[in-house]
Every structure is written in C-alpha cells, then in structure tokens.
Amino acid sequence: IEKGLNILAGAELASGDYNAAERNYREALRIAKKTNDRGNIATYMCNLTDVAMARQDWSTAEELARESLAMSQPMGRLELIGKNCYVLAKALIRQNQPREALPYARRAIDIFTKLRQPGRLKIAQATLRECEGMSDE
C-alpha cells in the first residue's frame, strides 16, 4: 500500500496538488516507519523534499534532505545520496548559505556523473555555478 501511496503522491505533485502529495508521502512514510523499512523511509523523506522545494520551503527541504541523507549513506544508495546532496545545496543557496552549499553541490555532480544521469547532472552543475557565483560576492 505504501508504494501505491508514493506513486499517487508523485502524480499529485506533478499536477501541482502539493497538499495531497504531502499527505500521501507522509502516510507512506508512516507505514514504512511502522515496519522499520529504512530504505523506503529514506526514499519517502527524499520525496517529501520535492514538495518542500515546490513550495519554496527551503528550511523544511534542508531538514528532510539531511535526515534522508543520514539514512541513505550507510545503505550506499547513491541515487538518494546524490539527490539529497542536490536538495541540500539548493536549499542552502536559497537560505543565503552558498559556502555551506558548495560541498553538497560538488558531491551531487560526482554522483550523477558516476550514475550517468545527465538530466540530474545538468541541474546539479547549474546549482554549483550558482553557489560559486554567490560565494565570490
């Protein structure tokens, strides 16, 4: 059921229904926590960052990405690690912390290069350029 909720939430997010997307991602997360499914807990937290970013709620995006990153690193989930690093970089930039964002942007680029994900690599590179531009000011 939780995986179905996750898919539904993704569709709701894509259609702009952020409240429904958040509700269903959180319900999927609640179920995953009950069964102690750490892999899906990290995934659903990471998916919640998409809602926070769409709402431009940068502090929530940062908090969720940090939690998901802490869970996904010991599991070696490179795709999640890369996405969380990208989200952290973007959220920190938006909170006017470009120096803190730099290592996350660089790590996201490294991971997306390794995973051969050109779309994600392109946005991570743009985020790095933004970090570097703000850091020089």
Tell whether the model's pLDDT for residue 137 goes beyond 60.
no
Tell whether the model's pLDDT for residue 40 goes beyond 90.
yes
Q: Quick one: pLDDT at residue 133? A: 85
Look over the chain and give the mean of its residue pLDDT values, rounded to a whole number.
95
Burial class (CB in 10 A: 0-12, 13-18, 19+), 45: buried
Percentage of the chain lying above the pLDDT 90 cut: 93
Give yes or no for a contact between 52 and 61, defined as CB atoms under 8 angstroms apart.
Answer: yes
Q: Quick one: pLDDT at residue 134? A: 80
Q: How far apart are CA 16 and CA 112, in angstroms?
A: 26
Q: How far is CA 90 from CA 56, 63, 86, in A?
A: 10, 12, 6
Q: What is the pLDDT of residues 65-92, one digit of tens each?
A: 999 999 999 999 999 999 999 999 999 9
Q: How far apart are CA 106 and CA 19, in angstroms?
A: 32
Tell whether the model's pLDDT for residue 58 goes beyond 90.
yes
Q: Quick one: pLDDT at residue 135? A: 64
Reported as a pLDDT band with limits 50, 70 and 90, residue 15 is very high
